[in-house]
Amino acid sequence: MSEQILTKKETRARVREMRKQLPEEALLSESRRIFGKVRASQEYKAAGTVFVYMSMAGEVQTREFIEQAWADGKKVAVPKTDLSSHQIRFCYIENFEQVRPGVMGILEPVTCPCADGDGDALIIMPGVAFDPGRHRVGYGGGFYDRYLEAHPGHPTAAVAFDFQIFDKVPAEVHDLQPDRIYTPTQIL
């Protein structure tokens, strides 16, 4: 937990350093614990589709979760970024052969069967840091804030390691909060 409120830039730098210190085996085991909680949630059980980010190094890892969602009979959609409009849209995938490195090297769908109209989807959002009030510091692009503003009504969940939960993070009016935050040890 942090004792002082850092700027968003300082928060991102601090979390980036903490992520570098997390051993690979801990990264995977903590990711499994987090997604075990997500899968036990009513929101997950009720969702026919899961909108989930494709993880990068150091983030809560999503690959096994995506595989498990398919095994659970869920449809899965992942984001595709349009830099010209600064928007993301979610596209269905049925296997990992359908994704390739895209913006910033993040895996994105090659083709985009659009899932944006899927009303019962649970959205799993990434983030850099959070606080107990569910305020979120993202990566700075505002992609999820714009998406959720344009597509309201979906249940949302963020996933984070415990060190990503601060006493307070800087939040602005346009920063949307997830309904729940799942860590290895708690649900906020």
Domains of the chain: 8-182 (3.40.50.10420)
pLDDT at residue 176, rounded to an integer: 85
E strand residue ranges, the chain: 49-52, 75-82, 87-93, 99-101, 107-109, 121-125, 129-130, 136-137, 156-159, 180-182
Per-residue pLDDT of the chain (188 residues), as tens digits, is 445 789 999 999 999 999 999 999 999 999 999 999 999 999 999 999 999 999 999 999 999 999 999 999 999 999 999 988 999 999 999 999 999 999 889 999 999 899 988 888 999 999 999 999 999 999 888 899 999 999 998 999 999 999 999 999 998 877 889 999 999 999 99
pLDDT at position 118, please?
Answer: 85
What's residue 29's pLDDT? 98
- Radius of gyration of the chain, Cα coordinates, nearest whole angstrom: 16
Q: Name the β-bridge partners of 77.
A: 51, 92
d(CA 93, CA 129) in angstroms, rounded, equals 28
User: Which pLDDT score is estimated for 172?
Assistant: 83
Beta-bridge mates of residue 80: 89
Given this model, what pLDDT does residue 3 score? Answer: 58
Task: Answer for the pair 90, 81: CB distance below 8 angstroms, yes or no.
Answer: no
> Contact 65/53 with Cβ under 8 angstroms?
no
What is the per-residue pLDDT for 121? 95
Pairwise CA distance, residues 108 & 136, whole Å: 23
